[in-house]
Structure 1
Amino acid sequence: MTDLDAETEFLGEWGRFQQQTFFLLCLTVIPNAFTALSIVFVADTPPHRCLVPAHVNLSAAWRNSSIPLEEDSHGGGPRPSRCSRYRLGDIRNFSDGGLLPGVDVNLSTVATEGCVDGWEYDRTTYDSTISSEWNLVCDEGWKKPMSSSVVFCGYLLGALVSGQVADRFGRKIVLVVSIGAHSVFATILAFSSSWTMFCVIYFIVALAHTSRTGSAFVLGTEILSTRVRKIFSTVGGNMFFCVGYMLLPLAAFFIRGWRMLLLALALPSFLLLTLWWCVTESPRWLLSQGRAEEAEAIVRDAAKKNQIEPPAVIFGPSHNECKPERRKAHNICDLLRTRNIRWISLTLWVIWNTLTVAYYALSLNTSNVHGNKYLNCFLSAAVEIPAYILSWIMFRWCSRRRSLFSTLFMGGLFLLLTLLVPANLVHVAVALEMMGKFAVTTAFSIMYAYTVEVYPTVLRNTALGACSMASRIGSIVAPYAIYLRSYSISLPYILIGSLTVLSGLLSLLLPESNGMPLPDTITHMQDFPGCCKKTPYKLTQTEENEPAAEGKCPVVS
């Protein structure tokens, strides 16, 4: 076995090469918040009512009374109906006869009809959204959560494909190609001419988004040293995501039309294409493919940037003698091949699923929370900053399993406590929801870094993609979890809170990876269920002799 961290230790922890890699890969994370969360503003439904055409000759009193009142399912007393109106033929006859509504005519006896002439929308908050432009309301209301679910379907397919492609062709090329595809189709999205076209293009944008995110995350994890790797995988990339998240409501506040908003969010992404000349391929991946000369050239260039004289020999002779064609090709099926990796994978997929449902449901719900939509979205983003800082502290000094359990359990508990808050204490309920978002975000950040630690190099990108893919089933459901508000405000909190608490308990079965070296092969993985005692893997006599006996590439930890 060769320890890549030990062989490249002469580069130092935080030289120019590491700084450049760290910050450039973190920059790729800023647009990530725009892909899924811009739908909060792009597809929001402004207050609306049935349109009474201007050419219909009605008195002012009858025009104001043409919309029936109905009970608000969220409380607050009667409000004008959003999906029906009194039959205009009858209203016109009453108006022409000089009768007054509520005085000469009992409106409860007047027949109603649907919004056959369309709707009129309140333009106070938005100039336009896809809901107001394509009338995604009333009988067509199911299309609004479907618009969000389409994004997560794209995430699912992207997670299925991108991990295996990156493990086969390299992290860097997949990263740059997906950045280009994401930028192009995100721009086209702003010119959608119909809801169907919008969903198709949005699906492609989400697919490219997943490829970019996974490749950037794994590339940084494999290039950076152990200490910096922990910062990158918890605080680094997530902080930049939070920056993008906070920029979203600011952009939406000043740009009230959905087309111009999407265009403003998409165009800056083209600048990220310059990463092709600024970021290197992963030496760890190159070594795993038997391309030792390319890996050594990258390390020597890194030493030059750090103004460090590299040793005459960086990688041993066994690297140069390896025959990559003799290596076994791995794919997503290997995540279920043996009992140990199968149980680890299934457990992680369930927890990822729950985390994604909770995170996106709470994020997409900001437009429904009491108060200003833009401020609520900004607060939802702001609470993630201390969450990411806490995740880094816990990831550096605490047990992985205990960190996951505590954050998941507390997140679910906060959400369930909102059910006990009286209706008049709105701000208390909002505070509890934000605390739940804080805990869920902390768990999500830890989960990403933990997944990279527990899987081996030969399957790391594939495994991260598979976990992301499994979680997208939950993210597809997340918009409909919010849609349950139309039946009862409590239902989303009961569902999400209960699932999060149960997932916290399930996380106690996972193996402990704190302080362990990154495994390279499946046999080096920790056992399921894990234990708090850390037992670093050791090569067997057979493994030690494999490279010399069979001409195989040495394993890299």
Structure 2
Amino acid sequence: MTSSILFFGVAAGSCISGPISDSFGRKKVLFSALAIQTVFSLSQVFSTSWPQFCALHFIVGMAAVSNYLSAFVIGMELLGPTMRTVFSTLGSCMFFGVGYMLLPLMAYYIRDWRLLVLALNAPTVLFLPFWWFIPESPRWLLSQGRVEEAEDILRQAAKKNNVQAPLVIFDRAEVSLKHEEPPATIWDVVRSRDIRWISVTLWIVWIDLSITYYVLSLNTSNLHGSIFLNCFLSAVLELPAYALSWVLIRYCPRRLCLSLSLLFGGLMILFIQLIPSDMTFMAIALEMTGKFGVAVAFALIFPYTAELYPTVLRTTAMSVCSMVSRIGSISAPYLLYLRSSSVALPYTLVGSFTVLTALISLLIPESFGKPLPDSIAHMQEFKGSCRRKKRTQDTQMDEHGIRDHLALRFE
């Protein structure tokens, strides 16, 4: 129940953080959410009842997903193509895996839950001073018409990288024309046919990944052996998965890699049912192998989603995807309860859904080797649509103009 309450908080945070970030800036949401998470997570140590703890846990879930999504988007928009792949995989995902590894280690040595909560959350205070070192996203500043601020950030980056910045980085007329477009809202995620089907397909993938990942993670307590060791090994397995995802996202098409990793993970989960009950370690090996495939897909879907949506809608779209995926994470504990009826039922359902999702994911447009879209008009057409759109002169200007400046300055 406590896990579900946390995930409800994550869903609520996903719902509100995206539009706020797209309206008021990535940096403000990032550090505001970080401060809220720090205060309320440390307040849990002093909770005197289970309802009070759950209420604080809900707020922590809201803040945690808000700062994670804002940090991810600001990194994707701030960095050039090469460093963007490093940040989205080895950066965010690898450090997530390291934190996951530390959790069972700390829980093994700190058995008092209050001390454990304190030890896990106290280090977040150290991140608050980063406000003075992390700049706002230049892409977001441009989308708001704040050209001078965006140019200042790029000039500082150019200076640090020993690159001579041009006198005029952005054409005021072009930026002004883009700024005259009506502001994007959460409804733009489903407004047109093409964007709607891109969003719906991504939601299916996010829901499946959330269900599968959390079912496999939460089931470690049911595996043979020490729950601490099983949780630790489950976390260790994610590190090579994230390293592989970095190689794939740098050199390979996103759509094919995502589909194959989902297919691999789903088949491994289904194969578990074929293992005799006395071959426990073989079943555990297959489960860990299946989680390896799911972890690769999880690391791919974050940058893949961010690359498909435009700057004016990126954080909102990421937040909506995260919110929808909470259907999976909230459902995961209850899917495991089906073991009381049939031990094979949870993994049969999860494995079948993952294989089906692998096929559905082939409908998502490819983003490999293509620049980030800056406006809704630049979003690619859904692959399943019957008609094809020609590349417009505005799209070509976008590819060779503003985004090239951003990539060059932060490469």
TM-score, scaled relative to structure 2: 0.93
Aligned length: 399
SS at match of 1:440: helix
SS at match of 1:290: coil
Shift of 1:401: 1.5
Contact 2:237 2:292 in 1 (8 A): yes
1:176 counterpart residue number = 31
1:159 counterpart residue number = 14
Contact 1:453 1:513 in 2 (8 A): yes
Contact 2:142 2:175 in 1 (8 A): no
2:277 counterpart residue number = 423
Q: Are residues 1:439 and 2:293 paired?
A: yes
Contact 1:516 1:536 in 2 (8 A): no
Shift of 1:320: 7.1
1:393 counterpart residue number = 247
SS at match of 1:512: coil
2:40 counterpart residue number = 185
Q: Are residues 1:409 and 2:263 paired?
A: yes
Q: Are residues 1:384 and 2:231 paired?
A: no
SS at match of 2:393: coil
TM-score, scaled relative to structure 1: 0.69
CA–CA distance in structure 2, aligned partners of residues 482 and 406 of structure 1: 25
- The match for 1:225 among 71, 80, 96 is 80
Shift of 1:473: 1.0
- The match for 2:124 among 269, 272, 288 is 269
SS at match of 1:517: coil
**Equivalence map 1:269-288=2 (5 Å):** 269-288=124-143
Choose 287-296 or 478-487, whichever is displaced more.
Answer: 478-487
Contact 2:381 2:389 in 1 (8 A): no
SS at match of 2:312: helix
1:105 counterpart residue number = none
1:342 counterpart residue number = 196
CA–CA distance in structure 1, aligned partners of residues 390 and 79 of structure 2: 21
CA–CA distance in structure 2, aligned partners of residues 536 and 273 of structure 1: 46
1:299-349 deviation digits (Å, cap 9, x = unpaired): 12222322433222222232675694x431111101111000001101110
SS at match of 2:134: coil
CA–CA distance in structure 2, aligned partners of residues 153 and 499 of structure 1: 22
Contact 1:290 1:322 in 2 (8 A): no
Letter in 2 for 1:438: F
Shift of 1:220: 0.3
SS at match of 1:458: coil
**Pair 1:536–1:171, CA change in 2 (3 A):** farther
SS at match of 1:309: coil
Q: Which has the higher contact order (CA 8 A, sep 6+)?
A: 2
SS at match of 2:313: helix
Shift of 1:235: 2.1
- The match for 1:360 among 214, 238, 252 is 214
Provide runs of 4+ in structure 1 moved above 6 Å: none
1:516 counterpart residue number = 370
CA–CA distance in structure 2, aligned partners of residues 406 and 352 of structure 1: 15
CA–CA distance in structure 2, aligned partners of residues 277 and 530 of structure 1: 45
**Pair 1:529–1:246, CA change in 2 (3 A):** same
SS at match of 1:190: helix
Point out where structure 1 has 5 or more consecutive residues left out of the alignment: 1-145, 545-553
- The match for 2:98 among 228, 243, 263 is 243
Letter in 1 for 2:34: I
Choose 328-337 or 296-305, whichever is displaced more.
Answer: 296-305
**Pair 1:186–1:525, CA change in 2 (3 A):** same
Task: Among all aligned residue pairs of Structure 1 and Structure 2, give the percentage whose two residues are the same amino acid.
Answer: 52
Choose 227-236 or 312-321, whichever is displaced more.
Answer: 312-321
1:290 counterpart residue number = 145
- Name the one with the larger helix percent: 2
CA–CA distance in structure 2, aligned partners of residues 194 and 384 of structure 1: 35
Shift of 1:509: 1.1
SS at match of 1:457: coil
Point out where structure 2 has 5 or more consecutive residues left out of the alignment: 405-411
CA–CA distance in structure 1, aligned partners of residues 134 and 394 of structure 2: 36
Shift of 1:535: 9.5
**Pair 1:181–1:368, CA change in 2 (3 A):** same
